Amino acid sequence: MIAVLRLGHRPDRDKRVTTHVALVARAFGADKIFVDREDKKLEQTIRDVCRRFGGNFEIETGVNWKGIIKEWNGKKIHLTMYGKPLREKIDEIRRERDILIIVGAEKVPGEVYRMVDYNISIGNQPHSEVSALAIFLDRYTSGKWEYKKFDGEIEIIPSEKRKKVVKRKKLPSEEECIDMLSKQGCSQEVINHCISVKNLAVKIAELAGADVELVKVGALLHDIGRSKTHGISHGIEGAKIARELNLPDEVVNIIERHIGAGVTKEEAVKLGLPPKDYVPKTLEEKIVAHADNLIDGNRKQKISEEVERQLKRGNKDYAEKLMKLHRELSQICGIDLDEI
Ligand code: SAM
């Protein structure tokens, strides 16, 4: 947990600067900001940014700052031009996981200097709490803040020449997914199966470093097409429903490409499906497809059981594809998926 405590906020005078302190905290890797004076407008501004641009950043204003410092379960770092140079202490501070970074506005009360573990200067010239915080967070995270994923409704695509923004559709919550399944007419058996696939898919996604939220939603909705048919086209029917429900394309693709270990365009033609490649492409698509292969009803089975079943049906190529996907994901996860 990286938290920032902003002292001396005067809602009438410091609106812009405190907003910038909060925005820097959020963008450069902090999880939360505390502001000493209550400012509901500021809270609303920051929550609005979080809603649109994503992330789980929190803001709390009107806090008892002394209480926050006293009760902080971790190291407390006050940024002040009078402190020890950052370069001398940053390696030591970087070892700490839970830090509270304190920045001031005008004069900071003397007791703050005594209540903290570190008084740190970012150069010994006066500048600003915004710059001090930005530089501190950059050094503390060793630049890793740049890779933080926010998964917001709005995402800015780096571009050399023009403003490029994509608006992403929001992922539904777990409750909303279950609600969609039952509203579409899926049986309780199908819903229970979807929940079992979701539980396994999430475990695999965590091990594989995949997008867990996307996998969760894709797995819960992968069989939504079973409200229409239990035949092989249930993936296609499901994708159709997902498009009608205005779900993000990533979810639609998971549903459409979850059949077995993938159906190529040629195989689709032979199976009487619309001619299209239904092979899972992204890591998340592969995870949901394979979690489904490993869940028989609600029971986790070994890949060998599914392979044998397919061999008995004479589906040799298909059995090989299953094994290939199993090996690929097991390698990414660093563990045989039969063992999880
Ligand atoms: N004279 C004030 C003081 O008590 O430090 C400076 C106020 S300054 C406008 C507001 C805040 O910016 C400070 O409380 C401190 O957190 C931060 N700050 C400004 N210059 C800094 C520096 N060189 N190193 C670290 N923090 C600095």
Model confidence over 122-141: pLDDT tens digits?
998 999 999 999 999 999 99
pLDDT of residue 320: 92
Mean pLDDT of 99-128: 95
CA of 324 to the centre of ligand 1 (A): 58
pLDDT of residue 123: 95
For residue 78, which atom of ligand 1 is closest to its CA?
16
Mean pLDDT of 208-218: 92
Closest CA to 42 of 64, 26, 55, 66: 26
Residue 189, CA distances (Å) to 37, 195, 227, 305 in order? 53, 10, 11, 21
As a whole number of angstroms, the distance between CA 4 and CA 31 comes to 8
Model confidence at 13, pLDDT cuts 50, 70, 90, reads confident
pLDDT of 168 above 80: no
In the chain, what percentage of residues exceed pLDDT 70?
100
127 Cβ closer than 6 Å to some ligand 1 atom: yes
Q: Which residues lie across from 78 on neighbouring strands?
A: 102, 119
pLDDT of residue 106: 82
Amino acid identity at 225: G
pTM to 2 decimals? 0.61
Closest CA to 36 of 127, 97, 109: 109
Residue nearest to atom 17 of ligand 1 (CA): 129
209 Cβ closer than 6 Å to some ligand 1 atom: no
Residue nearest to atom 7 of ligand 1 (CA): 106
Of 202-206, 240-244, 263-267, least confident by mean pLDDT is 263-267
CA of 49 to the centre of ligand 1 (A): 26
pLDDT of residue 291: 96
CA of 13 to the centre of ligand 1 (A): 17
Cα four-point dihedral sign 91, 94, 100, 101? positive
For residue 106, which atom of ligand 1 is closest to its CA?
7
- Name the DSSP class of 106: S
- Name the DSSP class of 225: G
As a whole number of angstroms, the distance between CA 106 and CA 13 comes to 11
pLDDT of 330 above 90: yes
Question: Torsions phi, psi of 166, nearest 5?
Answer: -115, 140
CA of 127 to the centre of ligand 1 (A): 6
126 Cβ closer than 6 Å to some ligand 1 atom: yes
- Name the DSSP class of 262: -
Mean pLDDT of 253-280: 90
137 Cβ closer than 6 Å to some ligand 1 atom: no
pLDDT of residue 31: 95
- Name the DSSP class of 117: S
CB neighbourhood size of 30 (10 A): 25
Mean pLDDT of 17-43: 95
Model confidence at 214, pLDDT cuts 50, 70, 90, reads very high
119 Cβ closer than 6 Å to some ligand 1 atom: no
In the chain, what percentage of residues exceed pLDDT 90?
75
Mean pLDDT of 306-332: 91
Mean pLDDT of 167-179: 90
Average per-residue pLDDT for the chain: 93
